[in-house]
């Protein structure tokens, strides 16, 4: 589904990513592991077109996206949940969710399934996004990305700074989504979390992919060492 | 009496949200104290309070047994011996490395001295020594904007060092650094701790493990646990909220 | 992106270089003009036209400039002055007194013009006055003003207070009532004019019920109108200037005040301004001038016809336009009489010079270089024209210091 | 030490060249142009002051016309009393005053010329103390300073009896007994302007070359960091605001005898913004850029408005737009860039990382 | 008694004019952080649009239609100002995001050009816009108490504009997008929102509101190239006093400055009134630098 070849990314004049190759197959959950500051988030941002990517190719379902602006990338079917959630703090939960529909030009309705996945949101529809707890914001951010039924869901460290019970909830949701056939790309530095949910893994260090494979065949010790925090 | 900083019953709230909720802790001279905790646990807010940026609703912060930090304006803290480094490196980008240091080294920070006095030879030597220490000596005539991220962080630390402080607050000093740079920063911290006390807010647990003498775990604005790294690592509650992050139990 | 950025930079610098080139070209350009500006050459006489073509005062001054240009064109068409064509150097005073001073210096010292037609506001005239005196230049000032001035280097072709304000107040006291409310823009003309009016009211049994000044460009008169309503004057004597008049009259009408209860008399509103205010908002109000577009003289018929033919049928003529037009002819006549453009000779020749202007006969008073002018009170009509309702039997002698009026003693110092 | 530093910098060389050509200008230009150039020099002095506060310290004041005006009025009051020869100045008698007002009284004494500096400095001290202490900065400060100039214009126009109203002060005759109309006086004033330009430039160069200059830049780059380095930025900001205001006052005083008038039109919002734009066009944060910008823009303004009086505002407006958008460093920045392209062969690789990688 | 009631009415009326003029600014300045010094010129454009429409009606349509021209003039004023604003955003403003102070200087240049353009097209003198007959006259409450229809109409317009803005900003897709973009540009883009398009539409919308203000102002004041300059500082003060980025702030700021102006003008005189109001505003901002209604926003602070 998503094919990334030879991707380079810059911040200002400093190179963050060097020649990244990465594939996400349809219906699979792919995890990108790595320590703080190796460029994982930058990588996701470069998929979304938020940083400078002078070289390389990003293909979603054989459609080249590298020269497209961010919003067309989103519209071609990528649901992005950034690190730190990036909820619109001064808008209500309902408004935040509706914004998720912008990918389809704001048309459509929020399917009730969203509230099944995240029952907590239903109770809080009129609350300001900024007043939610971190975990709730994370759920809202995922829900917001899901309302438009994206072909590919991208999650940036969905567990960071979130209390354990909600991490469990999120894990369950991801598995549910997988069952429904969603394709998901997760960035994590927290190994235990992905062991149970991901199919494929990549490990990034210093802007390069240093290991990849199936999660089922992964040498946990070795990877843990590579991404040790 | 080797307590350098004592935080008593500190409460800070924004619009009814308790960012820091009744925090009590003591920091001893010569310590490298780490504050850890998940995002939003109130670590940065705590630092802000110590350096006078935020006025707490309740409580006190006593420095050197007799000075209540809360009574000082932000710019006066350096004079009593507290310095701070921000999370985003905030060096003066259009000045050279040397000029950055020059601004920091001076003791008399009044305006007339700034107009008429240039820095002394001993101060210049001091700057050079510290620049050597952080490996920026060769870069001293470069503009700070031309430094790499890590170098900027070191420059900011160097700017603190040159001020002869007793307490240094560092907000995520190794964020965005590679492993090598991180190690170097850690070594730097140890050198610093020889002269003064250091408080660090950090996420990088490996870094914490290697360099912390004491760790305070914050959670939702309150102190969850405090102690050595070993002690912390084995506290199930801490594992729950921070270290372990509860992933094993998912699914 | 990085590459794009670099490319952009190149474009930027190219652009900047172009800007530099243009600017240096202009700098050298003005140095160049300076070299050629030696003096009036054999076949032309250089004159300056100095008005605000930009800024707030452009509203009024542009049409005055047009009138001067028309007069100059007419004279040139008839063969010019002393057999030479008049060459015009136009400068923009930009509604800024200091710029007026600079441009006046430029016209006199650099271009060495024979005379200058220009200025509108008192501030601009006061700014250039020392320049003309120090450089021994000649300025023709076409607008009615507050008086108390008589520079040897200025000819004043607009009305002095005794040719506009004083007779108007006199007439109003006799015909409209005794209670006066004074309203004006906050600058020299209204303040001086009101000082004169107050002295006159005191002498002639009128009463003053209010006096208000508003900053230039003030746009909300609701409070002042409220004050006026409260004081119930018979006459509002209006010395507001420019934009403020529009706001004042529109809002006055809305407040439900009609001309039966209270009449206004304005001395800074002529046909041109009436157009901007909207005739409907001013119908029935009074004004005081020396000339209206409807003034019935044969000279005026041709003047109006020519002006409209030249600048468009929708344009109107009014007092300052006419005074500016007169100024050019008066100067030309003086030069012809003197046989020279020399300032002293022209001044001497101008003394007592008469001219059949569109407003009727005018004469230059030698003593103070103002004009003898007929005073006319007019009423604004619904179509925007102004109908004369009263006039002096003949031209009135100009008296800028009001020396001939007993009640005005002590005003001029 | 200072002299050595002065000679070293290319900006100072440029300044030297400008001064030399200004000194030589009377050999080539007419008295009128010299007089005009004298006015531009007063603007250049003003621009240096603005550069000190805006270019170096990052505070954009849109009310500098007020300080310029106050200095100019102080000078104007002195000249006016000199012209009145002990009598009441002309406009006061029209306005109904019978005695010289108390605020005018001191201006019959040449010592009162100190007010040229003192009055703007005092006003700046009061306003600066209030606003900077309350940490009003950036856009808020700019808009407040704009309101300030509006207040002063309305006030000066309203107090006609004391200030001459819209007419301002004009009709000066002599300065220290010398006739203002005489060519010689004009040359003297011109050279005096150059002298003050040198003095002000040297003062500001002294400031920016010393530690205080670095602190000012530091305040611009990161006020918080300065505060945590133990400096009280408020005091420095007030100081630089006062300096800048005093310089503006001097500029105003130099302006008056050469132009022959000061009126509220010179201190309003429009001139205040234009002053800032001279600095922007010349290149902010360089001092020399301010000098170049002020002289060049005003030269252009005079030149173009002479050649194309009807449309010169288009040129002016478009130049502002183009410079602000495409040349944020101004002319000096442009020259610097070209010079570095020409004279250094720095490899691209030498350009070191500018921004930090994302903090994961 | 009447005089005081009328004075209160005047205060509200003047406030409504300030609000109308400031609404557009509340969007371009408050939301987009562009210090648009050419805002006054957009007001001028709106006024000239009314003039054009009026001339069209008098020349091409039967006289009986004339009374209704104003209802055409308002949308035309909006559209004309908005489209010029759109073009401006595309060419100039787009370079100035995040450079608040620079935007001030560049738009100053724009304002000079627009003024001169108006002078070239319509001539330097003021032009006359006749108000429709049904707006002439006043609501007669008592002989001394007449409330001019025009002022009532403007108050009504302000309320309608506010409601429209409120609806657009808080109840429509478009407003949600604007707020999203203003709060977090990158995130908004990654939700599929075309941020560039939103920017230019928002700027155009703000400019269009200025156009409406200009159209309304033709009822009360002069129509000339420099029409806008008289309003610019006032409107900025309204927005700053109210609190940048807050619609309620703009309303409160307009009300305070408007009633303050008329009350002090009534008690003293026009000049002192003006000076006093501005001095008080400056002093107030010393005490509350963020204005009446504080919205936490970072972009202007640092």
Tens of pLDDT, residues C379-392: 999 999 999 999 99
Please check the confidence at residue A94 and state whether its pLDDT lies above 60.
Answer: yes
pLDDT band per the 50, 70, 90 thresholds, residue A168 = confident
Whole-angstrom distance, CA of residue A10 vs CA of residue A55: 10
Q: What is the mean pLDDT of chain D?
A: 87
Contact across the interface for B249 and A172, Cβ inside 8 Å: no
Whole-angstrom distance, CA of residue C36 vs CA of residue D306: 14
Those chains having 3 or more beta-carbon pairs within 8 angstroms of chain D are A, B, C, E
pLDDT band per the 50, 70, 90 thresholds, residue C65 = very high
What letters, b where the CB count within 10 A reaches 16 and e where it falls short, cover D267-276? bbbbbbbbbb
Residue E140: beta bridge partners?
E146
Domain boundaries, chain D: 2-312
Q: C67-107: per-residue pLDDT in tens? A: 999 999 999 999 999 999 999 999 999 888 999 999 999 99
% of chain C with per-residue pLDDT over 90: 70
Query: Are residues A102 and E198 in contact, defined by beta-carbon separation less than 8 angstroms?
Result: no
User: B89 or E32: which carries more pLDDT confidence?
Assistant: E32
**Cα angle E256-E257-E260, degrees, rounded to a multiple of 5:** 80
User: E269 or D351: which carries more pLDDT confidence?
Assistant: E269
State residue B15's pLDDT score: 64
Please check the confidence at residue C208 and state whether its pLDDT lies above 90.
Answer: yes
Query: Are residues B78 and B69 in contact, defined by beta-carbon separation less than 8 angstroms?
Result: no
User: What is the 8-class DSSP label of residue E93?
Assistant: G
Cα of B41 to nearest chain A Cα, Å: 9
User: B189 or C266: which carries more pLDDT confidence?
Assistant: C266
**Which residues of chain C does D39 touch, with a Cβ-Cβ cutoff of 8 Å?**
102
D191 touches chain B (CB under 8 A): no
Please check the confidence at residue D295 and state whether its pLDDT lies above 70.
Answer: yes
Q: E136-187: per-residue pLDDT in tens? A: 888 888 877 888 999 999 999 999 999 999 999 888 888 889 888 888 888 8
pLDDT band per the 50, 70, 90 thresholds, residue D7 = low
Average pLDDT, integer, range E51-69? 90
Query: Are residues E21 and E234 in contact, defined by beta-carbon separation less than 8 angstroms?
Result: yes
Cα of B244 to nearest chain A Cα, Å: 9
DSSP string, C322-370: HHHHHHHHHHHHHHHHHTS--HHHHHHHHTT-EEEETTEEEEE-TTTSB
Chains C and B, touching by 3 or more CB pairs within 8 angstroms: no
Whole-angstrom distance, CA of residue E172 vs CA of residue E178: 10
Most confident of A156-170, C211-225, E75-89: E75-89
Domain boundaries, chain C: 44-159+297-372, 162-290+376-408
pLDDT band per the 50, 70, 90 thresholds, residue A167 = confident
- The continuous run of DSSP H or E covering E7 comes out as helix E2-28
Q: Please provide residue C241's backbone torsions phi and psi, each rounded to the nearest 5 degrees.
A: -120, 145
Q: A103-117: per-residue pLDDT in tens? A: 777 777 888 888 888
Query: Are residues A78 and A145 in contact, defined by beta-carbon separation less than 8 angstroms?
Result: no
Task: Give the number of other CB atoms < 10 A from CB of residue C177.
Answer: 15
Average pLDDT, integer, range A26-46? 84
Average pLDDT, integer, range E7-20? 91
Instruction: Give chain E's domains with CATH numbers.
Output: 2-301 (1.10.3470)
User: C260 or D355: which carries more pLDDT confidence?
Assistant: C260
State residue B194's pLDDT score: 83
The tokens for A94 are: 């309902």
Range C44-159+297-372 has CATH code 3.40.50.2300? yes
State residue C54's pLDDT score: 80
pLDDT band per the 50, 70, 90 thresholds, residue E298 = very low
User: What is the 8-class DSSP label of residue A18?
Assistant: E
Whole-angstrom distance, CA of residue D90 vs CA of residue C168: 27
Please check the confidence at residue E299 and state whether its pLDDT lies above 50.
Answer: no
The tokens for D193 are: 């302007």
Cα–Cα distances in Å, from B194 out to B164, B187, D95? Answer: 12, 11, 77
Chains E and C, touching by 3 or more CB pairs within 8 angstroms: yes
Contact across the interface for D352 and B146, Cβ inside 8 Å: yes
Whole-angstrom distance, CA of residue D324 vs CA of residue D347: 29
CA D14 remoteness from chain centre: 19
State residue A228's pLDDT score: 58
Instruction: Give chain B's domains with CATH numbers.
Output: 1-81+165-251 (3.40.50.300), 84-162 (no CATH)
Q: D48-73: per-residue pLDDT in tens? A: 999 999 999 999 999 999 999 999 99
User: What is the 8-class DSSP label of residue B138?
Assistant: G
User: What is the 8-class DSSP label of residue A52?
Assistant: B
State residue E297's pLDDT score: 39
**Which of D140, D142, D158 lies closest to E104 in CB terms?**
D142
Query: Are residues C35 and D349 in contact, defined by beta-carbon separation less than 8 angstroms?
Result: no
Q: What is the mean pLDDT of chain A?
A: 84
Whole-angstrom distance, CA of residue C4 vs CA of residue C262: 70
For domain C162-290+376-408, the CATH architecture is: 3-Layer(aba) Sandwich (3.40)
Q: C300-332: per-residue pLDDT in tens? A: 999 999 999 999 998 999 999 999 999 999 999
One digit per residue, the tens of pLDDT, for chain B of length 251 reads 588 889 889 888 876 677 888 889 888 888 889 988 776 677 888 888 888 778 888 888 988 888 888 888 888 888 888 988 887 778 898 899 999 998 888 888 888 888 888 788 889 899 999 999 888 888 888 888 888 778 888 899 899 888 888 899 988 887 667 667 788 888 888 888 888 899 998 877 778 888 888 889 888 788 888 888 888 888 887 776 665 544 333 33
Measured between CA atoms, the residue of chain E closest to residue D270 is E108
Whole-angstrom distance, CA of residue D62 vs CA of residue D147: 9
Task: Please give the sequence-ordered ranges of beta strands (E in DSSP) within chain B, or none if there are none.
Answer: 3-14, 17-28, 32-36, 58-63, 67-68, 82-85, 167-171, 197-201, 214-219, 222-227
D303 CB-contact burial (10 Å; exposed 0-12 / middle 13-18 / buried 19+): buried
Q: Which of residues 74-133 of B touch D (CB under 8 A)?
A: 74-79, 83-84, 86, 88-95, 99-100, 102-104, 106, 109-111, 113-119
CATH number of the domain within which A139 lies: 3.40.50.300
**Which residues of chain A does B38 touch, with a Cβ-Cβ cutoff of 8 Å?**
134, 160-163
HSE of D338 in the Cβ direction (CA atoms, 13 Å)? 12
**Cα angle E194-E196-E200, degrees, rounded to a multiple of 5:** 120
Cα of C275 to nearest chain D Cα, Å: 23
As for how many domains chain A has, the answer is: 1
Whole-angstrom distance, CA of residue B203 vs CA of residue A229: 9
Chains A and E, touching by 3 or more CB pairs within 8 angstroms: yes
User: D197 or D85: which carries more pLDDT confidence?
Assistant: D197
Whole-angstrom distance, CA of residue C138 vs CA of residue C132: 6
pTM (two decimals): 0.89
Please check the confidence at residue A212 and state whether its pLDDT lies above 70.
Answer: yes
Cα of A192 to nearest chain C Cα, Å: 38
Contact across the interface for C95 and D31, Cβ inside 8 Å: no
User: What is the 8-class DSSP label of residue C44?
Assistant: E
C413 touches chain A (CB under 8 A): no
ipTM over 0.95: no
Minimal CA–CA distance to E176: which of E163, E191, E161, E162? E191
**Which residues of chain A does C3 touch, with a Cβ-Cβ cutoff of 8 Å?**
54
State residue E3's pLDDT score: 85
Contact across the interface for A160 and B179, Cβ inside 8 Å: no
State residue D86's pLDDT score: 80
User: B53 or C298: which carries more pLDDT confidence?
Assistant: C298
Residues 6+ apart with CB under 8 A from C174: none
Residue C360: beta bridge partners?
C357
Minimal CA–CA distance to C127: which of D172, D92, D250? D172
Helix axes E149-166, E2-28, angle to 10 degrees: 30
Contact across the interface for A16 and D357, Cβ inside 8 Å: yes
State residue C219's pLDDT score: 87
Edge to edge, the sheet with strand B58-63 lists B17-28, B3-14, B58-63, B67-68
State residue C161's pLDDT score: 94
Q: Which of residues 112-171 of C touch E (CB under 8 A)?
A: none
Q: Please provide residue B13's backbone torsions phi and psi, each rounded to the nearest 5 degrees.
A: -135, 145
Range of the domain at A103: 2-227
Whole-angstrom distance, CA of residue B24 vs CA of residue B42: 13
Cα of D232 to nearest chain B Cα, Å: 6
The tokens for A70 are: 């961010």
Contact across the interface for A41 and D354, Cβ inside 8 Å: no
pLDDT band per the 50, 70, 90 thresholds, residue E50 = very high
In chain E, what's the furthest Cα-to-Cα distance? 63
pLDDT band per the 50, 70, 90 thresholds, residue D309 = low
Q: Which of residues 239-268 of C touch E (CB under 8 A)?
A: 242-247, 250-251, 253-256
Please check the confidence at residue D306 and state whether its pLDDT lies above 60.
Answer: yes
% of chain D with per-residue pLDDT over 90: 54
The tokens for E41 are: 């010129």
State residue E40's pLDDT score: 94
Task: Give the number of other CB atoms < 10 A from CB of residue A222.
Answer: 11
Q: D241-272: per-residue pLDDT in tens? A: 999 999 999 999 999 999 999 999 899 888 99
Contact across the interface for C95 and D338, Cβ inside 8 Å: no
State residue E202's pLDDT score: 93
E168 touches chain A (CB under 8 A): no
- Of C114-123, D68-77, D88-97, the range with the lowest mean pLDDT is D88-97
% of chain E with per-residue pLDDT over 70: 97
User: E124 or D47: which carries more pLDDT confidence?
Assistant: D47
Whole-angstrom distance, CA of residue C199 vs CA of residue C208: 10
DSSP string, A160-214: TT--HHHHHHHHHHHHHHHHTT-EEEEEES-HHHHHTT-SEEEEEETTEEEEEEE
State residue C412's pLDDT score: 63
B72 touches chain D (CB under 8 A): no
User: What is the 8-class DSSP label of residue C111?
Assistant: S
State residue D8's pLDDT score: 66
**Sequence-ordered alpha helix ranges (H) in D134-283:** 138-158, 160-163, 183-209, 211-221, 223-228, 233-259, 269-282
Those chains having 3 or more beta-carbon pairs within 8 angstroms of chain C are A, D, E
């Amino acid at each position: 589904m998503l094919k990334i070849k030879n991707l380079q990314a810059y911040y200002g004049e400093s190179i963050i990513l060097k020649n990244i190759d990465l594939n996400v197959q349809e219906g699979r959950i792919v995890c990108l592991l790595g320590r703080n500051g190796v460029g994982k988030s930058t990588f996701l941002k470069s998929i979304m077109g938020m940083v400078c990517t002078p070289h390389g190719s990003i293909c979603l379902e054989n459609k080249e996206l590298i020269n497209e602006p961010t919003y067309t990338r989103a519209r071609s079917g990528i649901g992005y949940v950034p690190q730190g959630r990036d909820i619109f703090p001064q808008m209500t939960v309902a408004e935040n969710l509706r914004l998720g529909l912008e990918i389809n030009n704001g048309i459509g309705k929020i399917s009730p399934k969203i509230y099944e996945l995240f029952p907590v949101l239903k109770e809080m529809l009129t609350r300001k996004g900024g007043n939610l707890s971190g975990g709730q914001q994370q759920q809202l951010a995922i829900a917001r990305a899901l309302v438009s039924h994206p072909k590919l869901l991208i999650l940036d460290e969905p567990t960071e700074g979130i209390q354990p019970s909600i991490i469990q909830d999120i894990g369950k949701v991801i598995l549910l989504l997988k069952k429904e056939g969603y394709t998901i790309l997760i960035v994590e530095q927290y190994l235990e979390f992905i062991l149970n949910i991901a199919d494929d893994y990549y490990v990034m260090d210093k802007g390069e992919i240093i290991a990849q494979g199936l999660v089922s065949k992964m040498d946990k010790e070795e990877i843990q060492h590579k991404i040790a925090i | 009496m080797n307590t350098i900083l004592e935080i008593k019953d500190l409460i800070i709230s924004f619009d009814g949200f308790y960012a820091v909720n009744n925090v009590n802790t003591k920091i001893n001279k010569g310590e490298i104290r780490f504050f850890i905790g998940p995002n939003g646990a109130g670590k940065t807010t705590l630092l802000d309070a110590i350096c006078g940026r935020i006025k707490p609703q309740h409580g006190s912060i006593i420095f050197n047994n007799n000075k209540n930090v809360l009574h000082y304006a932000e710019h006066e803290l350096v004079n009593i011996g507290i310095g701070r480094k921000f999370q985003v490196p905030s060096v003066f980008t259009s000045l050279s490395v040397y000029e950055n240091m020059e601004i920091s080294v001076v003791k008399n920070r009044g305006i007339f001295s700034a107009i008429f006095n240039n820095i002394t030879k001993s101060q210049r030597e001091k700057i050079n020594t510290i620049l050597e220490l952080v490996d920026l000596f060769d870069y001293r005539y470069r503009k700070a904007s031309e430094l790499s991220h890590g170098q900027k962080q070191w420059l900011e630390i160097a700017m603190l060092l040159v001020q002869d402080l007793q307490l240094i607050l560092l907000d995520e000093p190794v964020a965005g650094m590679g492993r090598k740079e991180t190690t170097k920063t850690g070594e730097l911290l140890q050198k610093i701790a020889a002269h003064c006390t250091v408080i660090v807010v950090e996420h990088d647990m490996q870094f914490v493990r290697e360099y912390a003498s004491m760790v305070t775990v914050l959670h939702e604005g309150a102190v969850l646990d405090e102690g050595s790294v070993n002690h912390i690592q084995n506290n199930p509650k801490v594992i729950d909220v921070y270290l372990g992050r509860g992933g094993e139990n998912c699914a | 992106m990085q590459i794009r950025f670099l490319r952009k930079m190149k474009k930027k610098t190219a652009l900047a270089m172009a800007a530099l080139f243009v600017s240096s070209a202009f700098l050298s350009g003005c140095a160049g003009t300076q070299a050629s500006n030696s003096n009036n050459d054999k076949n032309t006489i250089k004159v300056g036209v100095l008005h605000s073509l930009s800024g707030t005062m452009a509203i009024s001054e542009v049409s005055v400039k047009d009138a001067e240009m028309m007069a100059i064109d007419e004279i040139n068409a008839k063969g010019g002055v002393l057999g030479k064509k008049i060459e015009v150097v136009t400068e923009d005073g930009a509604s800024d007194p200091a710029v007026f001073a600079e441009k006046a210096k430029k016209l006199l010292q650099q271009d060495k013009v024979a005379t200058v037609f220009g200025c509108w506001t008192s501030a601009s005239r006061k700014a250039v006055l020392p320049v003309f005196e120090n450089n021994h230049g000649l300025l023709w000032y076409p607008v009615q003003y507050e008086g108390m001035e008589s520079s040897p280097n200025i000819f004043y072709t607009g009305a002095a207070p005794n040719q506009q304000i004083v007779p108007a107040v006199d007439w109003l006291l006799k015909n409209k009532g005794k209670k006066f409310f004074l309203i004006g823009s906050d600058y020299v003309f209204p303040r001086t004019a009101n000082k004169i009016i107050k002295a006159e009211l005191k002498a002639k049994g009128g009463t003053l019920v209010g006096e208000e000044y508003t900053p230039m460009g003030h746009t909300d008169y609701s409070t002042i109108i409220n004050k006026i309503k409260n004081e119930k004057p018979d006459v509002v004597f209006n010395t507001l200037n420019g934009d403020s008049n529009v706001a004042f009259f529109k809002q006055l009408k809305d407040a439900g005040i009609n001309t039966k209860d209270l009449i206004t008399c304005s001395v800074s509103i002529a046909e041109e301004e009436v157009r901007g205010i909207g005739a409907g908002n001013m119908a029935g109000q009074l004004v005081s001038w020396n000339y209206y577009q409807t003034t019935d003289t044969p000279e005026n018929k041709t003047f109006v016809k020519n002006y409209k033919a030249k600048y468009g049928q929708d344009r109107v003529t009014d007092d300052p336009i006419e005074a500016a037009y007169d100024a050019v002819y008066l100067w030309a006549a003086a030069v012809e009489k003197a046989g020279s453009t020399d300032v002293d000779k022209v001044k001497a020749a101008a003394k007592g010079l008469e001219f059949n202007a569109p407003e009727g006969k005018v004469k230059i008073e030698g003593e103070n270089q103002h004009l003898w002018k007929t005073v006319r009170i007019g009423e604004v009509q619904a179509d925007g024209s102004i109908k004369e309702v009263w006039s002096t039997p003949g031209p009135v002698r100009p008296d800028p210091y009001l020396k001939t009026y007993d009640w005005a003693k002590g005003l001029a110092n | 030490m200072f002299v050595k530093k002065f000679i070293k910098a290319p900006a100072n060389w440029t300044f030297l060249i400008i001064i030399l050509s200004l000194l030589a200008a009377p050999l080539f230009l007419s008295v009128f142009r010299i007089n005009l150039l004298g006015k531009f020099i007063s603007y250049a002095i003003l621009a240096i002051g603005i550069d000190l506060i805006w270019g170096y310290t990052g505070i954009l004041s849109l009310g500098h016309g007020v300080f310029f005006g106050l200095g100019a009025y102080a000078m104007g009051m002195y000249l006016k009393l000199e012209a009145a020869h002990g009598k009441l100045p002309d406009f006061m008698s029209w306005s109904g005053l019978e005695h010289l007002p108390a605020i005018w009284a001191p201006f019959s004494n040449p010592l009162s010329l100190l007010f040229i500096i003192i009055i703007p400095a005092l006003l700046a001290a009061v306003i600066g103390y209030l606003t900077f202490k309350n940490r009003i900065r950036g856009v808020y400060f700019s808009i407040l300073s704009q309101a300030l100039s509006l207040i002063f214009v309305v006030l000066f126009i309203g107090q006609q009896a004391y200030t001459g109203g819209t007419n301002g002060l004009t009709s000066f005759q002599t300065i220290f007994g010398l006739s203002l109309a005489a060519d010689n006086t004009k040359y003297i004033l011109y050279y005096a302007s150059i002298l003050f330009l040198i003095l002000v430039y040297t003062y500001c160069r002294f400031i920016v070359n010393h530690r205080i200059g670095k602190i000012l830049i530091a305040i611009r780059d990161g006020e918080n960091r300065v505060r945590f380095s133990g400096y009280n930025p408020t005091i420095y900001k007030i100081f630089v605001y006062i300096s800048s205001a005093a310089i503006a006052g001097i500029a105003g005083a130099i302006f008056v005898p050469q132009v022959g008038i000061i009126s509220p039109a010179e201190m309003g919002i429009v001139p205040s913004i234009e002053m800032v734009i001279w600095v922007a066009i010349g290149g902010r944060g360089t001092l020399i850029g301010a000098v170049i910008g002020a002289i060049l823009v005003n030269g252009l303004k005079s030149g173009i408005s002479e050649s194309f009086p009807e449309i010169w505002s288009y040129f002016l407006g478009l130049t502002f737009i183009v410079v602000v958008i495409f040349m944020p460093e101004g002319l000096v920045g442009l020259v610097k860039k070209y010079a570095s392209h020409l004279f250094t062969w720095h490899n691209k690789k030498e350009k070191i990382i500018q921004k930090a990688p994302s903090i994961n | 008694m009447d005089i005081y009631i009328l004075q209160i009415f005047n205060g509200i009326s003047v406030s409504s004019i300030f609000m109308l003029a400031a609404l557009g600014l509340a969007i371009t300045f408050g939301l987009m952080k562009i210090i648009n010094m050419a805002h006054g010129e957009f007001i001028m454009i709106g006024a000239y649009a009314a003039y054009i429409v009026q001339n069209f009606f008098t020349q091409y349509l039967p006289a009986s239609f004339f009374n209704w021209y104003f209802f055409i003039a308002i949308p035309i004023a909006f559209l004309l100002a908005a489209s010029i604003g759109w073009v401006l955003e595309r060419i100039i403003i787009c370079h100035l995001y995040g450079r608040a102070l620079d935007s001030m200087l560049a738009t100053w240049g724009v304002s000079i050009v627009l003024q001169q353009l108006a002078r070239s097209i319509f001539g330097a003198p003021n032009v006359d816009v006749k108000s429709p007959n049904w707006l002439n006259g006043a609501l007669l409450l008592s002989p001394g108490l007449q409330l001019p229809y025009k002022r009532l109409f403007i108050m009504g317009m302000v309320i309608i504009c506010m409601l429209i803005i409120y609806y657009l900003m808080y109840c429509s897709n478009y407003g949600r997008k604007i707020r999203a973009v203003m709060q977090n540009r990158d995130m908004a883009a990654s939700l599929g929102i075309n941020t560039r398009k939103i920017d230019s539409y928002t700027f155009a919308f703000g400019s269009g509101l200025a156009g409406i203000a200009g159209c309304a102002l033709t009822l009360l004041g002069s129509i000339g190239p420099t029409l806008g300059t008289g309003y610019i500082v006032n409107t900025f003060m309204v927005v700053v006093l109210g609190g940048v980025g807050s619609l309620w702030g703009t309303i409160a700021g307009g009300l305070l400055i408007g009633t303050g102006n008329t009350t002090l003008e009534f008690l003293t005189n026009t000049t002192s009134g003006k000076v006093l109001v501005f001095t008080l505003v400056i002093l107030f901002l010393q005490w509350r630098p963020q204005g009446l209604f504080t919205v936490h926003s970072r972009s202007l602070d640092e």
